[in-house]
Amino acid sequence: MKAIVMPLLVTNEAYRYLAGNPAAIPSAVFTMIVVAGFGEETVFRGYLFERLGRLLGRSRAARTFTVLASAALFGSLHYFDQGLAGAQQAAITGLVYGAVFAVTGRIWMLMCAHAAFDLTAVAIIYLNLESAVAHMVF
């Protein structure tokens, strides 16, 4: 995502304060694991999929709509603290995570993948490697 998709979009400056800032790491790690990994997946893939599934049914069209709607909502809610770049990145990851959940119905691996994705992003930002990673391909 950081090396292929994000260079084509706008740069996300929301977490620049993490670069070389060891005091910020404990709260960032907690947030990425508990709030993002567990919390966001529980709400957007667990609860929202279950509610929309009951409302719309379990057809392929209903699951497709659910993936698109949950990704759009997921992305739009990231706009308030991360701006356009964060919303774009969240919408793309929401599409991927939503599609995986629609096919597998398993949320634990998505919680782990979400936390790992965010923790990797924190590490890249902390080590001030974001620009280098973003230009590995482009």
Please state the separation of Cα 55 from the chain's center in Å. Answer: 25
Q: Model confidence over 92-123: pLDDT tens digits?
A: 999 999 999 999 999 999 999 999 989 988 99
Q: Model confidence over 120-131: pLDDT tens digits?
A: 889 988 998 877
Question: Comparing C-alpha atoms, which of 122, 124, 98 is closest to residue 110?
Answer: 98
CA distances to 36, 48, 52, 114, 125 from 119, in Å: 10, 24, 30, 9, 10
- Ranges 62-66, 79-83, 118-122, most confident: 62-66
Cβ(77)–Cβ(68) below 8 Å: no
Structure tokens at 11: 């740069």
- What gap in Å lies between CA 127 and CA 121, rounded to an integer? 10
* Amino acid (one-letter) located at 131: S
